[in-house]
């Protein structure tokens, strides 16, 4: 079973690259974040032509998430929105049962600044994810938290910023303690695995990134993990997202 997750920063702008990913990797399940489209504008037809179908939770110009799957894998028990989240209309969570697995696609709020109201809402979203985690087999998405300093290109430069604080990191650990395993870190304990790079100043080519996208799998599935990696090639080329997709394979 091939799993993938990608923050596409507009599904409309990124549709050619998403189709490229499907053709190149043929994942069974692809979780998407920042689709940034109205529900009516979701490109179901283009995905169908590529052999996929999808369920989405959309909020127009901001956020938006989806779970896509190979056409022969039904998407059942769809849940839009995360129980306990502060702003359910922001479309940051969609979950479905695929091939017996309960899969969620998550886009955690950015948090803006540590002293902002948005930061408290980010922590609340992470707490709500912890509560939902025990019922999940796969929690994939842009969690907007670096798990450790290894996941930050310059920890000193990020001191005092969001994405690196003990408050955020302890909540991410809480999600893992609820029964999930960080697939990339499980297979690559010491490797840098950035998934996001600022568009500006050539950060991507200077390898100045963050690891903020995750594939978390239920602890019972961890022994089935065969590979997990980031496809940097999809961060290159025409009109890339500022995130690269993260992929994993379960035996």
**Which residue lies nearer to DNA by CB, 36 or 185?**
36
Taking CB under 7 A as the criterion, which residues in 171-190 touch DNA? none
**Which residue lies nearer to DNA by CB, 226 or 236?**
236
Question: In angstroms, what CA-CA distances link 186 with 30, 114, 202?
Answer: 20, 29, 30
Residue 147 as a binder of DNA (CB under 7 A): the answer is no
When binding is defined by CB under 7 A, the residue of 136, 212, 246, 250 that contacts DNA is: 212
Tokens of 74: 């039904």
**Which residue lies nearer to DNA by CB, 112 or 224?**
112
Q: How far apart are CA 30 and CA 43, in angstroms?
A: 14
Cβ proximity of 67 and 91 under 8 Å: no
Q: Is 207 exposed, middle or buried (0-12, 13-18, 19+ CB in 10 A)?
A: exposed
**Which residue lies nearer to DNA by CB, 135 or 157?**
157
Tokens of 229: 């990696």
Site string for DNA, 68-107 (x = CB under 7 A): ----------------------------------------
Residue 39 as a binder of DNA (CB under 7 A): the answer is no
CA-wise closest residue to 66 among 77, 55, 81, 79: 55
Site residues for DNA per CB under 7 A: 7, 9-10, 12-13, 34, 36, 60-62, 109-110, 112-113, 118, 142, 144, 162-163, 196, 199-201, 210, 212, 239, 242-243
């Amino acid at each position: 079973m091939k799993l993938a997750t990608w923050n596409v920063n507009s599904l409309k702008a990124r549709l050619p690259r998403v189709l490229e990913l499907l053709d190149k990797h043929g994942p069974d399940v692809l979780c998407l974040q920042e689709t940034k489209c109205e529900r009516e504008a979701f490109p179901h037809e283009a995905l169908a032509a590529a052999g996929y179908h999808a369920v989405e939770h959309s909020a127009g110009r901001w956020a938006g998430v989806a779970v896509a799957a190979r056409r022969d894998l039904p998407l059942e028990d769809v849940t839009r929105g995360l129980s306990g989240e502060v702003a359910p209309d922001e479309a940051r969570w969609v979950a479905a049962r695929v091939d017996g697995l309960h899969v969620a696609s998550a886009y955690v709020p950015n948090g803006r600044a540590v002293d902002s109201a948005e930061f408290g809402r980010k922590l609340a979203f992470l707490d709500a994810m912890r509560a939902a985690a025990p019922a999940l087999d796969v929690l994939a998405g842009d969690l907007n938290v670096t798990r450790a300093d290894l996941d930050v290109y310059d920890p000193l430069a990020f001191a005092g910023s969001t994405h690196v604080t003990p408050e955020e990191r302890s909540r991410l650990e809480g999600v893992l303690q609820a029964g999930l395993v960080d697939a990339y870190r499980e297979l690559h304990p010491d490797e840098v695995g950035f998934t996001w790079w600022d568009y500006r100043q050539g950060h991507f080519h200077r390898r100045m990134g963050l690891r903020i996208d995750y594939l978390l799998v239920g602890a019972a599935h961890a022994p089935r993990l065969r590979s997990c990696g980031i496809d940097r090639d999809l961060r290159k080329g025409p009109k890339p997202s500022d995130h690269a997709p993260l992929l994993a394979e379960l035996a």
